[in-house]
C-alpha cells in the first residue's frame, strides 16, 4: 500500500484511463521457485536479477549494474513486475522502470525517475516523471527498499568514485 501511495504522489497528474492489456495470471505462490517459473513463462527480463519478492510482485535489478557517481552516490535502474494490475496515477500498472539515487553512508534512497507501464515486461508506457532534486526516503529493516539499498551498496563497496568528486550542495 505504501508503494502505491508513493507512486501516486510521484506521478500526480493526468493519465490516460485506458484498459491494461491482457496479462498473465499471478504465480502459484510467492516462493522463489514459483516466481522464477512465472517469470520464465511470462516476463521478458533477460539478465535482470531478482532483488525482492512481495505479495504484489517482484523487484529486479538492471543487468547494467550500479553506477558510482563522482560525488560518491550510487545510481541504479530497478524494475517492478506486478503479479496483478495496481491502480496508480489514474491508470492500471503492471510494471515500472525506476532510476534510484542511493546514499550508502546514510542508507537513504531517492526516486529520480519512473516510467509506469500498463503491461508486464515494460509494455505500453502511460506515465513518466523525473526530478533533478532528490527527495530522500528512509528504509526500514526487512522492506523491499532496504533490500534494494543493501544490494546497491554491496555492488559499489570498495569502489573509488570517478575523478572530479564533489560533494553536492544539498547533501548533508
157 or 6, which is more confident:
157
**pTM for this model (two decimals):** 0.80
Cα 145 → chain centroid = 9
Strand partners, 18: none
Q: Which structural domains are found in the chain, ordered by start? A: 2-156 (2.40.128.710)
Give the residue with greater pLDDT, 161 vs 67: 67
Q: Minimal CA–CA distance to 97: which of 131, 123, 132, 135?
A: 123
Greater confidence (92 vs 12) lies with: 92
The alpha carbon of 156 is separated from its chain's Cα centroid by a whole number of angstroms, namely 18
Quick one: pLDDT band at residue 169, thresholds 50, 70, 90?
very low
Identify any residues that bridge with 44 across adjacent strands, giving them in sequence order.
none
Average pLDDT over residues 144-160: 91
Q: Name the CA dihedral angle for 118, 138, 152, 58, rounded to a multiple of 10 degrees.
A: -30
What pLDDT digit, counting tens, does each position of 116-145 carry?
999 999 999 999 999 999 999 999 998 999
**The pLDDT value given to residue 142:** 86
What confidence tens digit (pLDDT) does each residue in 24-33 have?
Answer: 999 999 999 9
For the chain, list the strands marked E by DSSP: 49-54, 57-68, 74-88, 91-103, 108-119, 123-130
Strands 74-88 and 57-68, by their bridges, are antiparallel
What residues have CB less than 8 Å from 42, skipping those under 6 apart? 23, 24, 120, 121
Residue 141's contacts (CB-CB under 8 Å, 6 or more residues apart) are none
Amino acid at each position: 500500500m505504501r508503494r502505491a501511495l508513493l507512486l501516486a504522489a510521484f506521478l500526480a497528474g493526468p493519465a490516460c484511463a485506458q484498459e491494461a492489456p491482457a496479462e498473465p495470471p499471478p504465480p502459484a505462490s510467492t516462493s522463489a521457485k514459483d516466481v522464477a517459473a512465472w517469470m520464465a513463462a511470462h516476463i521478458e527480463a533477460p539478465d535482470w536479477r531478482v532483488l525482492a519478492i512481495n505479495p504484489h510482485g517482484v523487484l529486479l535489478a538492471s543487468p547494467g549494474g550500479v553506477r558510482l557517481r563522482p560525488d560518491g552516490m550510487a545510481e541504479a535502474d530497478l524494475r517492478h513486475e506486478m503479479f496483478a494490475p495496481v491502480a496508480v496515477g489514474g491508470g492500471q500498472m503492471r510494471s515500472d522502470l525506476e532510476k534510484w539515487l542511493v546514499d550508502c553512508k546514510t542508507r537513504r534512497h531517492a526516486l529520480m525517475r519512473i516510467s509506469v507501464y500498463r503491461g508486464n515486461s515494460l509494455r505500453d508506457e502511460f506515465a513518466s516523471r523525473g526530478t533533478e532534486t532528490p527527495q530522500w526516503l528512509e528504509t526500514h529493516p526487512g522492506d523491499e527498499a532496504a533490500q534494494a539499498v543493501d544490494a546497491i551498496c554491496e555492488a559499489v563497496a570498495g569502489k573509488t568514485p570517478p575523478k572530479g568528486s564533489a560533494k553536492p550542495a544539498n547533501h548533508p
